[in-house]
Amino acid sequence: MDPEEGSMAVDNIVTQFNTYEDFLDSQITTVDLYYLEDESLARQLVELGYRGTGEVVKREDFEARKAAIEIARLAERTQKKTLTSAGKDLQDNFLKALAVREDDNRNGKSVIFIRDRNSHGQEVSGYIDYAHRLKIEDFEVYFNGKRRLLPRPTDMSFYNWDNHIAVCNSTPNYQVITDNPEGLLFKYKRDRKILNVDPKVKVSTSSDLTTVHREFYRQT
């Protein structure tokens, strides 16, 4: 069994049984108890791999994985309760669209295109990895309307229409492909699927292209 299969087997066992002792008991047969006449000894033999009807799992592996799953569960619950957009009275269509996608993009893969003017009056545009920006930046100022979300030179793509500066950067979620003659492509690193952001290209069934019109942005 390769490491990935072994990890999946442990996960299945951990989610199935509340305690390590429950797992050991599931491996003990009535015949084992008949001959051994000692439940504690039977458990020890299963733990050592001498008896049992299934996968051998060490106590430390079981307890470590159990703790990790519980931490992940609590973190997910806390995250859902502390969404930046939660409780905000959003009137702007673009901010509403961001709020709808915030929860999914804590681990998701939305790409945002924005074209607007920066604080210097320069026209800028770019593609933003929403999930990545959520992790490195506090979106409170955007959902409160104190600041506009704008593309930066550190985003997946950035273009300043006034001084013609163009920058592309891969992110933890996406690889930017710049050598495509028809335009930029983004490869999602988890499933390796290609996202073509050209509006003239038919969107695949695994992607969803949504255009949001709002008063304070030139294009989103």
Summarised one tens digit per residue, pLDDT across range 140-160 is: 999 888 899 999 999 999 999
Taking alpha carbons only, the member of 129, 180, 182 closest to residue 151 is 129
What is the Cβ-side half-sphere exposure of residue 167, based on CA atoms within 13 angstroms? 15
Q: Is 34 left (phi over 0), alpha (psi -120 to 50) or beta?
A: alpha
Instruction: State residue 205's pLDDT score.
Output: 45
Identify residue 81 by its one-letter amino acid code.
Answer: K
Average pLDDT rounded to a whole number, residues 3-10:
59
**pLDDT of residue 2 exceeding 60:** no
pLDDT in tens, 102-129: 877 766 678 999 999 999 999 999 999 9
Distance CA 131, CA 141 (A): 17
Instruction: State residue 33's pLDDT score.
Output: 75
Q: Share the mean pLDDT of the chain.
A: 80
pTM (2 d.p.): 0.56
Instruction: State residue 120's pLDDT score.
Output: 92
Distance CA 212, CA 108 (A): 19
